[in-house]
Structure 1
Amino acid sequence: MRVLGLMSGTSADGVDAVLAEFRGPPRRPRWRLLSRATVPYPHDLHLRLIAAGQGQSIQAADVIELGEALTEVQAAAARACDPAGNAELVGCHGQTLWHRPPQDARRGSSWQLLQAPLLAQLLQRPVVFDFRAADLALGGQGAPLVPAADAALLPAIGGWRALLNLGGIANLTLLPPQAGPDRGAAVQGWDCGPANTLLDLAAAQFSGGERRFDAGGAWAAQGQVDEPLVQLWLREPYLQQAPPKSTGRELYGQMDLERRLEELELAARRRNQPLEPADALATLTAFTAAVVAQDLARGPAVLELLVAGGGARNTTLITALRRRCRGLQLRPLAELGIGDSDREALAFALLAWWHQRGVSGSLPSVTGAAKPAVLGVCARPTR
């Protein structure tokens, strides 16, 4: 079956689309990636999504218009990826506006903005959406959902294999080895902490809105890392919390950036120096790498780290990861045929295929849910 996957992550910079073909056993399907496309959000839409995702007050009428505009970009990405309309099914994540993980006795909740019936009508294809709700209803985090797809699509190797997505948030998947005492171990996965959210917000702030991100990490490469602050930040509660855990812009957004910049400025003042934007970006970049390295050090020994997401193109961040994650092989996931921007869109294509076949798509070992669940709701077009 040919399935379109559409993904827009925490960075809210646009829509990644893939057209994939799945055949055979659901848990180990034969698959091909047929085409890909990326369509950026218009700048105004990007800014409105970021504002809404950070808790800015918004009128109900504006939510409707925001959802409609976002859905039209999703449709444009689908058409760019599959102009001939070969897909039989679409899996669309939508845009997360707010994620509330479970806490104490309170269940979690998550809001992915999308007008799915409109998207189904625009594409004249059934659309599977709202992938997180079933897991959340079962007491899970509702995230991350990609580890189940990683386990299905990628072969095991001789030791633990880790996959790192550097989107708005950094998240890890740990796949058990093909042989040895850990062969039957459960897949692991969790959200580590910030990746591009703080970096993008800082680049926009320091450039007066002229830059949406630090391309290639070139700006950060000009600065000096405040290592004592990095080590202090690593002791924060979320970063010390054991999985299952998930997070997003509600924790690592503009308010969090402002706090960190104040701490950086105070540290610079103690050295009788002004805070240079390059130093702030260098420290935030090093912090992301340090968070990932700290999490990897707590788990089983990993042989290989495969990196994807927009942050995989940040040379300064990758260099920091190599320095802090010594003892393992770090390489791009693209070497296995899944490009930097393909992995999550491919995962939601697979989750949609699983939904269509009635196959569970969640892993309680990752999300902490009471049991696995078939994920998503299907909207069908009116013909």
Structure 2
Amino acid sequence: MRVLGLMSGTSADGVDAVLAEFAGPPRRPRWRLLSRAALPYPTALRRRLIAIGQGQPLVAAEVLELGEALTQVQAEAARACDPEGRAALVGCHGQTVWHRPPLANQRGCSWQLLQGPLLAQLLQRPVVYDFRAADLALGGQGAPLVPAADAALLPAAGGWRGLLNLGGIANLTLLPPASGPDRAAAVQGWDCGPANTLLDLAVDHFSGGKQNFDAGGAWAAQGKPDEALIQHWLELPYLQQTPPKSTGRELFGQSDLQQRLHDLEQSAHQRGSNLEPSNALATLTAFSAAVVAQDLNQSPAIVELLVAGGGARNHTLMRQLRRRCRGLELRPLAELGIGDSDREALAFALLAWWHQLRIPGSLPSVTGASQPAVLGVCASPGQ
């Protein structure tokens, strides 16, 4: 079956789309990518999405209009990827605007903004959306959901294999080895902490809104990380928490950045200087790498780390990862046929296919749910 996958992550920079074909055993399908496309959000829309994702209040009418505008961009990305309408089904994650993980006495909840029936009508295709709700209802985190797809789409290696996504949030998947005592172990996965959320917000701050990301990590490369501050930041309760765990802009957003900039300014003043933007960006970049390295140090030893997401194109971030993950081979996931921006869109195409086949798409070993669940709600055109 040909399925279109649409994904917009925590960075809220636009929509990644892939057209994929799946056949054979659902848990280990034959698959191939037929086409891909990426469509950025208009600047005004992106700023509104980031604002609501950090708690800015909106009246109901504004929320409805925002959902409609976002859905329209999703449809445009779908048409750009599949102009001939070859897909029989669409899987769309929508745009997360708020995520609350489960607490000791409270079930989690998560809101992915999208008008699913409208998207189905615009594309004249069934659309599977609202992927997190079923897992949350079973006591799970509702995220990350991509590890199940990683396990289905990628071959096992001779040892534990790690996959790192450097989007707005850094998240890890650990796949058990093909042989040996751990071959029957459960897939692991969790959100580590910030990757690009704080970096992008800091670039916007220091550039006066003229830039929204540090292209190639060039700005951060001019500065020097504050290692003492990084070690202090690593003691944040979320970063010390054991999986299952998930997070987003609610924790690593604008207010968190302001606190970290305050810390950086205080540290600079103690050294008798003013805070340089390049040093702030260097520290935030190194912090993102240190968060991942800390988690890997507490996990099963992996033979390689496959890296995807927008952060994989940040050369300074990648250098910091290699320095802090000494002895670990880092490779682009693209070497296995899945490009930096394809992985999550491909995962939601697969999850939509599984939805149609009534195959559970969640992994309790990752989300902490009481049982696996078929994920998503399907909207058909005309219904």
TM-score, length-scaled by structure 1: 1.00
Look up the equivalent residue of 1:74 and give its one-letter code. Answer: Q
In 2, Cα distance between equivalents of 1:113 and 1:374: 20
Q: Match for residue 296 of structure 2?
A: 296
**1:87 and 2:90 correspond:** no
Secondary structure class of the residue paired with 2:293: helix
Q: CA deviation at 1:327?
A: 1.6
Q: Deviations over 1:194-218 (max 9, x none)?
A: 0000000000010000001000000
Q: Match for residue 371 of structure 1?
A: 371
Q: CA deviation at 1:382?
A: 1.2
**1:282 and 2:282 correspond:** yes
In 1, Cα distance between equivalents of 2:382 and 2:186: 42
In 2, Cα distance between equivalents of 1:239 and 1:366: 17
Q: Match for residue 37 of structure 1?
A: 37
Secondary structure class of the residue paired with 2:282: helix
Q: Deviations over 1:20-39 (max 9, x none)?
A: 00000000000000100000
**1:231 and 2:231 correspond:** yes
**1:71 and 2:71 correspond:** yes
**1:9 and 2:15 correspond:** no
Provide the aligned length of Structure 1 versus Structure 2. Answer: 383
Matches within 5 A, 1:262-277: 262-277=262-277
Q: CA deviation at 1:51?
A: 0.3
Look up the equivalent residue of 2:174 and give its one-letter code. Answer: L
In 2, Cα distance between equivalents of 1:105 and 1:361: 26
In 2, Cα distance between equivalents of 1:137 and 1:379: 20
In 2, Cα distance between equivalents of 1:306 and 1:135: 26
Ranges in structure 2 where 5+ consecutive residues have no aligned partner:
none
Secondary structure class of the residue paired with 1:243: coil
Secondary structure class of the residue paired with 1:17: strand
Q: Match for residue 114 of structure 1?
A: 114
Q: Match for residue 169 of structure 1?
A: 169
Q: CA deviation at 1:315?
A: 0.3
Identity %: 79
In 2, Cα distance between equivalents of 1:41 and 1:181: 47
Look up the equivalent residue of 1:299 and give its one-letter code. Answer: S
In 1, Cα distance between equivalents of 2:57 and 2:235: 32
In 2, Cα distance between equivalents of 1:158 and 1:12: 36
Q: Match for residue 257 of structure 1?
A: 257
In 1, Cα distance between equivalents of 2:199 and 2:206: 11
Q: CA deviation at 1:361?
A: 0.0
Q: Match for residue 219 of structure 1?
A: 219
Q: CA deviation at 1:159?
A: 0.3
Q: CA deviation at 1:281?
A: 0.3
Q: Match for residue 243 of structure 2?
A: 243
**1:381 and 2:381 correspond:** yes
Q: CA deviation at 1:328?
A: 1.4
In 2, Cα distance between equivalents of 1:227 and 1:295: 17
Q: Match for residue 202 of structure 1?
A: 202
In 2, Cα distance between equivalents of 1:5 and 1:52: 24
Q: Match for residue 149 of structure 1?
A: 149
In 1, Cα distance between equivalents of 2:34 and 2:204: 35
In 2, Cα distance between equivalents of 1:122 and 1:7: 17
Look up the equivalent residue of 1:305 and give its one-letter code. Answer: L
Look up the equivalent residue of 2:196 and give its one-letter code. Answer: N
Q: CA deviation at 1:326?
A: 1.1
In 1, Cα distance between equivalents of 2:16 and 2:49: 16
Q: CA deviation at 1:248?
A: 0.3
Q: CA deviation at 1:105?
A: 1.6
Q: CA deviation at 1:240?
A: 0.2
Q: CA deviation at 1:230?
A: 0.3
Runs of 4+ with deviation above 2 angstroms: none
Look up the equivalent residue of 1:315 and give its one-letter code. Answer: H
Q: Deviations over 1:234-268 (max 9, x none)?
A: 01100000000000000000000000000000000
Look up the equivalent residue of 1:122 and give its one-letter code. Answer: L
Secondary structure class of the residue paired with 1:251: coil
Look up the equivalent residue of 1:10 and give its one-letter code. Answer: T
Secondary structure class of the residue paired with 1:200: helix
Look up the equivalent residue of 1:37 and give its one-letter code. Answer: A
In 2, Cα distance between equivalents of 1:145 and 1:45: 26
Look up the equivalent residue of 2:160 and give its one-letter code. Answer: W
In 2, Cα distance between equivalents of 1:364 and 1:301: 22
**1:308 and 2:325 correspond:** no
Matches within 5 A, 1:121-160: 121-160=121-160
Look up the equivalent residue of 2:374 and give its one-letter code. Answer: V
Ranges in structure 1 where 5+ consecutive residues have no aligned partner:
none
Q: Deviations over 1:243-299 (max 9, x none)?
A: 000000000000000000000000000011110000000000000000000000101
Look up the equivalent residue of 1:21 and give its one-letter code. Answer: E
Q: Match for residue 329 of structure 2?
A: 329
Secondary structure class of the residue paired with 1:349: helix
